[in-house]
Amino acid sequence: MSPDLATGPFHGVSTTIPTKPSLAFLDSGNCEPLKATFHGVALVLAAVMGAYNLAAWVRRRQSHLAINATVYIAAVFWERQHVTHHLLDCFPSASRPAVETAGSAPDSATEVKAA
């Protein structure tokens, strides 16, 4: 005999999936200096490891060192993008170029100088 579709096999048992706790600092716009700091530390660490592996590759010419150096150097550029993103969120005026409104400043080409 199949279970009744109205009651189901778990009648009386809660079948809802518990929600995961939300961490507010993970939301965009929250704790951006902290996020930039973490990515900055990762950037410095990747730079040091990349420099070490590059120097070791120059000395020993082992292929795994060249691969490691390439991965770490790519990580430096990756982390740089993250740091820039988080710092621009810290300073919203720096993320947008200053746009002059029409008529707020005279155009130097149409300005007539008085003699």
Domain layout of the chain by residue ranges: 30-93
Query: pTM score, two decimals?
Result: 0.62
For residue 15, what pLDDT is reported? 63
Q: For residues 17 and 34, give the distance between their C-alpha atoms in angstroms, rounded to a whole number.
A: 32
Comparing 27 with 102, which gets the higher pLDDT?
Answer: 27
Q: For residues 63 and 65, give the distance between their C-alpha atoms in angstroms, rounded to a whole number.
A: 5
With 0-12 / 13-18 / 19 or more C-beta atoms within 10 angstroms meaning exposed / middle / buried, residue 53 is buried
Indicate if the pLDDT at residue 101 is higher than 60. Answer: no
Per-residue pLDDT reduced to its tens digit, 11-58: 666 667 777 777 887 788 888 999 999 999 999 999 999 999 999 999
Residue-wise over 60-86: b if at least 16 C-beta within 10 A, else e?
Answer: eeeeebeebbeebbebbeebeebbeeb
